[in-house]
Amino acid sequence: MRRSAGRVSTRLARVASLVLLAALGTITLMRFAPGYFTDVREVDGKYGNGARAALNIQQEEQGSAITLTTHLLGNWLRGDLGRSRQYDIPVTELIGSRAKVTLRLLLSGMAFGWLLALALALALSARKTAAGEAMIAGPSAILLAIPIAAMATTCLLLNVGGPVLVLTTLIGIRDFKSIYRLLRLTWKSPYLLYARSQGIRSSRITFIYLLPALTAELRALAVTSFVIALSAIVPVEVIFDLPGLGQLAWSAAMNRDLPVLLAVTLLMAACIGLAGMVSTSARTIEVTPCA
């Protein structure tokens, strides 16, 4: 019991360290970016003087990166995510409304992507020859070589598909090879060869023996898929003009909106860290012998 609690504490500390490093990196890069203290209101004659005065005050209060980091992280520890510089509303309101859009896109893309990868891998890996992978090696290599932004732009220009199709293609093609190779190796296991020799249907072998034996590996691959999908969220949402967290992060970076960018960055870093923690915990459970 104490050993399990120690493992959980260690993994939580790693997640916290990842989030803290992401926060420090975001603050440092944004603070020293050119034009950090510029504001679009400065070009408006009606608001120019007031905007410049407010920016001067802000620059004096948060002049150094250390002061800015202490100020922002202190507010975060008190539960205050700050106020958007661009929209002039609390960051929590922006995050809450847009997180639902991003979550739906992630879940849809990963679900359809895994269905595509599993369908192809199961159909081709059950063959006696290893020619299955070669059948789609060329098309998959071409699709993987296309940047996600170029793929999304092509779909948008041709009016074919949408953001879910782009994520589905990305996840499905990337995961197919890994799943296919896992299945090919597992099909050669003695107990599966024996089951097939006894005339047991392939569908029964697949769902009762094959896939349960690969639970830990597939779970780890799912975490990798989640990270890949999360990294593709920004270009997909920006190109398809979806009001999600990716578009919000892009807009915040372009407008030097540090509170919003920091909140989105920390949220994504926490999701990646917790996903890795869950995957590691699951693998530990799988390999721990029963008492």
For residue range 133-148, list pLDDT tens digits in order.
666 667 777 777 788 8
d(CA 128, CA 192): 13
Q: What is the pLDDT of residues 228-260, one digit of tens each?
A: 888 889 899 999 989 999 998 888 888 878 888
Does residue 143 sit in helix, strand or coil? helix
Q: What is the pLDDT of residues 275-290, one digit of tens each?
A: 777 666 555 544 443 3
Contact 219, 212 (CB under 8 A): no
Contact 152, 239 (CB under 8 A): yes
d(CA 175, CA 141): 12
Q: What is the pLDDT of residues 173-230, one digit of tens each?
A: 888 888 888 888 887 777 777 777 777 777 777 777 777 888 888 888 888 888 888 8
Predicted TM-score (pTM) above 0.75 = no
pLDDT for the residue 186: 80
**Does the pLDDT value for residue 82 go beyond 70?**
yes
Domain boundaries, the chain: 101-255
